[in-house]
């Protein structure tokens, strides 16, 4: 899911670590020094960072409880000269909270992102990049507005159905740790993800965390009746099937854990660059 989830509880790398990473890669671009823009999306404001110029615009959808900082290492490694958009969903970071605390569907959050882009006067084509739960939202976004989306990159997308199949299902998931955080309705989310699971005839990549990373989980009891080995195999085979359904390429990380965009940023950046290049090609 993200750093808030017990599948891969961890802290994002420090800014200094990420800067060292990007220097090692030979390209340094970061959103860390940028101030967020507050954008009204219909009665409340979301914090967004908009930088660069050039089409297609790359829009980042972060995992549970994360804002734009989750993408700093990958952004540093990008070679494409394009406009970049990162943002924080309602109740995260510097974004406002929701007046209604009812758990949301992925479709509702995709709609929120669509309103954000419209309010910021950022028109397509978009390459939408998502991580974890944010990848499921990106998938729903692309299916809902395929005419505006030129490409899709899903970074270790969540197996939402898994959270319903365990002995103690997770029916609601908090989106962050603020007192006024929003949350997701997992059943609705699973339905949204399933309904959007089809080929959209656009360049797409599914980036999967390394084989065996689930075996290192510190909370095996959470996933009963599944063993960690079974969950790991399900994760890998599920991503293979998802890539096939979307007509996407698949790339599997060799190191690290769930945060592939930080543990192997050059892999995720290369996937984005590849999709950007394919999306920018004129139609025949």
Q: What is the pLDDT of residue 36?
A: 81
Choose the weakest-confidence range: 6-10, 63-67, 225-229, 254-258: 6-10
DSSP per residue over 25-70, as a string?
HT----STTPPPEEEESSSSEEEEEEE---SSEEEEE--TT--GGG
Q: How far apart are the first and last CA of the chain?
A: 39
What CA–CA distance (Å, rounded) separates 248 from 16? 34
Over the stretch 146-187, which tens digit does the pLDDT of each residue have?
A: 999 999 999 999 999 999 999 999 999 999 999 999 999 999
To the nearest 10°, the Cα dihedral for 171, 175, 179, 185?
-30
Name the domain count of the chain. 1
Q: What is the pLDDT of residue 7?
A: 43
Which residues form the domain of 272? Answer: 15-279
Q: How many other CB atoms are found less than 10 A from the CB of residue 199?
A: 11
Cβ distance 278 to 203 under 8 Å?
A: yes
What whole-number percentage of the chain has pLDDT above 90? 85
SS3 assignment, position 147 = coil
Phi and psi at 276, nearest 5°, equal: -60, -45
- Residue 38 belongs to a domain: yes
* 123 has a pLDDT exceeding 70: yes
pTM confidence score: 0.88
Q: What is the pLDDT of residue 30?
A: 39
Question: With b meaning 16 or more CB within 10 Å and e meaning fewer, what string describes 64-103?
Answer: bbbbbbbbbbbbbbbebebbbbbbbbbbbbebbbbeeeeb
Residue 8: inside a domain? no
Is 105 within a domain?
yes
Look at residue 274 in the predicted model and tell me its pLDDT: 98
Q: 106-119 and 133-144 helices cross at what angle (nearest 10)?
A: 70
Give residue 69's pLDDT.
95
Euclidean distance between CA atoms 194 and 175, whole angstroms: 21
Residue 9, domain member (yes or no): no
Instruction: Indicate which CATH number applies to the domain containing 32.
Output: 3.40.50.1820
pLDDT reported for residue 179: 95
Query: How far is residue 30's CA from residue 32's CA, in Å, rounded to a whole number?
Result: 5
Q: Count CB-CB contacts under 10 A for residue 172.
A: 12
Task: Provide the 10 A C-beta neighbour count for residue 53.
Answer: 9
Element (H, E) at 128: strand 126-131
- Answer whether residue 10 is part of any domain: no
The mean pLDDT of 88-93, rounded to a whole number, is: 97
Q: Which of 12-16, 95-99, 107-111, 163-167 has the lowest mean pLDDT?
A: 12-16
CB of 197 closer than 8 Å to CB of 242: yes
The C-alpha R_g of the chain, in whole angstroms, comes to 17
Cβ–Cβ under 8 Å, residues 47 and 67? yes
Q: Answer whether residue 4 is part of any domain.
A: no
Residue 57 falls within a domain, yes or no? yes
- For 243-275, the pLDDT digits (tens) are 999 999 999 999 999 999 999 999 999 999 999
Q: Is the residue at 2 inside a domain? A: no
Q: What pLDDT does 227 receive?
A: 98
């Amino acid at each position: 899911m993200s750093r808030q989830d017990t599948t891969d509880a961890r802290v994002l790398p420090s800014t200094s670590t990420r800067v060292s990473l990007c220097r090692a890669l030979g390209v340094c671009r970061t959103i860390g020094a940028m101030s967020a823009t507050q954008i009204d999306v219909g009665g409340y404001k979301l914090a967004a960072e908009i930088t660069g110029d050039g089409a297609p615009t790359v829009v980042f959808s972060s995992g549970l409880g994360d804002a734009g900082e989750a993408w700093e290492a990958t952004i540093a490694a990008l070679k494409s000269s394009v406009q970049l958009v990162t943002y924080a969903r309602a109740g995260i970071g510097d974004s406002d909270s929701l007046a209604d605390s009812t758990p949301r569907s992925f479709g509702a959050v995709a709609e929120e992102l669509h309103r954000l882009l419209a309010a910021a006067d950022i028109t397509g084509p978009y390459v939408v990049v998502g991580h974890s739960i944010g990848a499921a939202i990106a998938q729903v976004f692309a299916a809902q507005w395929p005419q505006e989306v030129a490409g899709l990159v899903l970074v270790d997308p969540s197996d939402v159905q898994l959270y319903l199949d365990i002995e103690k299902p997770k029916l609601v998931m908090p989106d962050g740790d603020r007192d006024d955080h929003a949350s997701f309705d997992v059943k609705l989310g699973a339905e949204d993800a399933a309904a959007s699971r089809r080929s959209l005839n656009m360049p797409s990549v599914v980036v999967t965390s390394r084989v065996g990373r689930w075996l290192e989980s510190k909370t095996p009891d959470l996933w009963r009746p599944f063993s960690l080995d079974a969950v790991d195999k399900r994760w890998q085979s599920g991503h293979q099937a998802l890539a096939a359904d979307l007509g996407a390429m698949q790339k599997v990380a060799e190191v690290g854990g769930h945060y592939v965009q930080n543990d192997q940023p050059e892999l995720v950046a290369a996937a984005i660059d590849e999709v950007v290049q394919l999306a920018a090609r004129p139609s025949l």
